[in-house]
Amino acid sequence: EFKTDYHFSSTMEEVLHQTFGLQSFRPQQREIINATLNNHDCFVLMPTGGGKSLCYQLPAVLSEGVSIIISPLRALIGDQVDKMNELDIAAAHLCQDVGQDETAIIMNKLHCREPLIKLLYLTPEKIMASRTVSDVLKYLYQRGKLARFVIDEAHCLSQWGHDFRPDYKQLTFLKSEFKNVPIMCLTATATKEVENDVISILKLKNVKRFIMSFNRPNIKYQVRPKKGKLALEEIIGLIKNKFIKKSGIIYCLARNDCESIADALNAAGIPSRPYHAGLSDKIRNAIQREWMQDRFFVIVATIAFGMGIDKPDVRFVIHNSVPKSVEAFYQESGRAGRDGDVSYSYLFYNYSDVLRLQKLMKLERKSSAKVLEGHFNNLHQMVSFSENVVDCRRYLQLIHLGENFDRQVCIRNKATTCDNCENINAYKMIEVTKEAKELGCLVRDASIKGNVTMIFVADIYKGSKLKKILQLGYDRHKYYGAGSSLNKTDIHRILKDLVLKNILRDHVTQAGEFPVVYIEPGKKFGLLATPNLKITIAINKTSLKS
Ligand code: ADP
């Protein structure tokens, strides 16, 4: 529907190579650039790292006059301007902290017959509140030197967006005041609702919409159960088998974990370095630089590592423990495969990490109860993702980001089919409401006598002859052995499902390893209180007895 043989095309390629030093366009960039050069209003939804900046930077170079970039993030504006100037592209910003002298210089450049600035970055506050700014915009407009407005993080315009900024809403005046100046909206997070809201607030006309899927088709997602604190054997095995001399990132929960894993990898002949907030800036910069230059391949990091990392050939990302949210998982695993080649994401999951993470979240200073609850909710969703053995991993992530996804796409793409789609026939949903009730009663009765761990409750239900069980007389409980036909992991899965549904509670003990389960004091066991609630879980078919 849209022409790509725009007459700028060959010039576009030239500028791409010569000014930006890049080889080829990423998906949609060429079409988006064409559209804005054709003076269309555009709405661009592209995942982080997709290459949104080029979509306005390159047209700014080619267009006559000045492109105005409106961005809410002061810190990023500074970086962008530096980057442009390094490429010899005339860019400037007018943020709050620019002094009088510098402002005067910029104004002079803008008032030249041919403005000496191609990209002018502004914050929304500045464009609304500064007389100087509005005067210079009018001046440029009257002389036909306003190339376009670019609104970065455009979801901030909508109150449906997660980051609504009242200042942004006033940008509605752009279309009335500067008729025919094209507007380009960019965002990495928007639902259909937000998209329509943004378009209507800005009064965009005949908008070209560029909606890119957040699916990363070249990443293969796998979640694996983990036994101890560190998945050392598995990680070493994986790297030795598949990733010799390949770049990778291993994410850990704590500094100590980073150090231990890096030591073990080095001992196994895999050169690697730890990276965390406990190291000085100087050391961290050196580690990052050496990794970027392939002087060693595996970086073992806490989440302090990653923001702004753009190494194209990262072949694997391993999470040694559960990340704090589905978004975090998507972003962190998404650092693999930027070059488009097949890459791997492994998440080593166990439930004690969840409890460790909760403990860390509680210790974080300055967290109000509400913030903490938000953190717990996010973690909760990540736990559901990790415990899920039936739904497509892509579907689960994308639906979370507001995008629907057909799992057939995952199944068809054989090289990167996710683990759950590979095992699509291995599991069956069965109802376990009766078992859940029995387990709940066991927890209630057992916790009267002291702390009980999930493992211990599962043992009683399974009918184990453990000394402790017999000594405490649990073999006389009416549900002792009631779950003897179930497999132990399935019993654990029922217990965890009850925790996920807030019917049971859990916490880590001082010793730290196994979660203790209990019913909140004073509360009735939820399942008994709500008789209509049904509990179903996915059970491995091979563990089902006929
Ligand atoms: P976004 O704003 O969408 O998160 P950026 O614009 O910051 O993404 O781009 C992410 C990275 O991809 C940057 O390092 C950028 O230089 C790089 N990039 C963008 N377009 C291309 C391209 N066509 N070829 C190679 N690298 C690109």
pLDDT band at 527 (very low <50, low <70, confident <90, very high): low
Amino acid 214 reads: F
Q: How far is the CA of 457 from the centre of ligand 1 (A)?
A: 52
Percent of the chain at pLDDT exceeding 90: 56
Specify the ligand 1 atom closest to the Cα of 16: 23
d(CA 230, CA 191): 38
Angle at 142 between CA 140 and CA 145, to 5 degrees: 40
- Determine the average pLDDT of the residues in 134-140: 94
Q: How far is the CA of 82 from the centre of ligand 1 (A)?
A: 16
CB 197 within 8 A of CB 157: yes
pLDDT band at 165 (very low <50, low <70, confident <90, very high): confident
- Exposure class string for 161-192: b at 16+ Cβ within 10 A, else e: beeebebbbbbeebbeebeebbbbbbbbbbbe
Average pLDDT over the chain reads: 88
Residue 97 makes CB contacts below 8 A (sequence gap 6+) with 74
pLDDT in the model for residue 308: 57
Pair of tokens at residue 226: 């983990």
Q: How far is the CA of 83 from the centre of ligand 1 (A)?
A: 12
How far separated are the first and last CA of the chain, in Å rounded?
57
- Determine the average pLDDT of the residues in 330-355: 92
Does ligand 1 lie within 6 Å of residue 187's CB atom?
no
CB 210 within 8 A of CB 43: yes
Specify the ligand 1 atom closest to the Cα of 20: 16
Q: Per residue in 377-388, pLDDT tens? A: 889 889 989 999
Closest to 62 (Cα-Cα) out of 106, 9, 24: 9
Complex ipTM above 0.85?
yes
Q: How far is the CA of 156 from the centre of ligand 1 (A)?
A: 22
pLDDT in the model for residue 504: 84
**What predicted TM-score, i.e. pTM, was given to this entire model?**
0.69
Q: How far is the CA of 43 from the centre of ligand 1 (A)?
A: 18
Does ligand 1 lie within 6 Å of residue 78's CB atom?
no
- Determine the average pLDDT of the residues in 479-485: 94
| CA-proximal residue: ligand 1, atom 25 (nearest) | 22
pLDDT in the model for residue 490: 85
Pair of tokens at residue 546: 């006929």
Neighbour-count burial of 466, counting CB atoms closer than 10 A to its CB (0-12 exposed, 13-18 middle, 19+ buried) = middle
Does ligand 1 lie within 6 Å of residue 53's CB atom?
yes
Residue 289 makes CB contacts below 8 A (sequence gap 6+) with none
Q: Which stretch of 114-123, 143-152, 182-191, 408-417 has the lowest confidence by average pLDDT?
A: 182-191
d(CA 398, CA 326): 10
CB 356 within 8 A of CB 366: no
- Which one of 13, 31, 53, 187 would you pick to mutate in the ligand 1 pocket, going by the greatest count of ligand atoms within 8 A of its CB? 53
Q: How far is the CA of 310 from the centre of ligand 1 (A)?
A: 8
Which residue do the tokens 């054997």 mark?
233
Q: How far is the CA of 468 from the centre of ligand 1 (A)?
A: 60
Does ligand 1 lie within 6 Å of residue 46's CB atom?
yes
Cα-only R_g, the chain: 28
Residue 414 or residue 455, greater confidence = 414
pLDDT in the model for residue 10: 82
- Determine the average pLDDT of the residues in 402-423: 91
